[in-house]
Amino acid sequence: QVQLKESGPGLVQPSQTLSLTCTVAGFSLTSYNVHWVRQPPGKGLEWMGVIWNTGGTRYNSALKSRLSISKDTSKSQVFLKMNSLQTEDTATYYCARVGYWGQGVMVTVSS
């Protein structure tokens, strides 16, 4: 069945780079777009960006200078990299495709 699962470090130091992986199952990354969405504790959802099934990307302009999304289709993995992290980047990060979301991974930015 369709599954998405995020993985990555739970703690990142300020000014460092966040690297997250979304491993998918039950569908091909050549057929579906995958989005990244984040949610700070107690707050709403923020769309971060998308990698299209074709490999193209689109980012939220508020994050564009810091954000990169890529994928390895053969491994069914999508990658998120975001640099210059600050405390306000503390959030649960989700990957999602139409109809399905991952469980999310909580990332805390703190020294």
Residues that bind another protein (CB under 8 A): 35, 37, 44-47, 50, 58-62, 94, 98-104
What is the smallest separation between the CB atom of 104 and another protein, expressed in angstroms?
Answer: 5
CB of 40 to another protein, least distance (A): 12
Judged by beta carbon, residue 10 or residue 44, the one nearer another protein is 44
As measured in angstroms, the least distance from the Cβ of 32 to another protein is 14
Residue number with CB closer to another protein (16 or 100): 100
Sign of CA dihedral 19, 55, 49, 64: positive
Nearest to 6 by CA among 107, 103, 90: 103
Whether residue 40 contacts residue 88, with contact meaning beta carbons closer than 8 Å, is answered with yes
Distances (CA, A) of 101 to 8, 38, 88, 109: 16, 12, 23, 23
**59 vs 79 by CB, closer to another protein:** 59
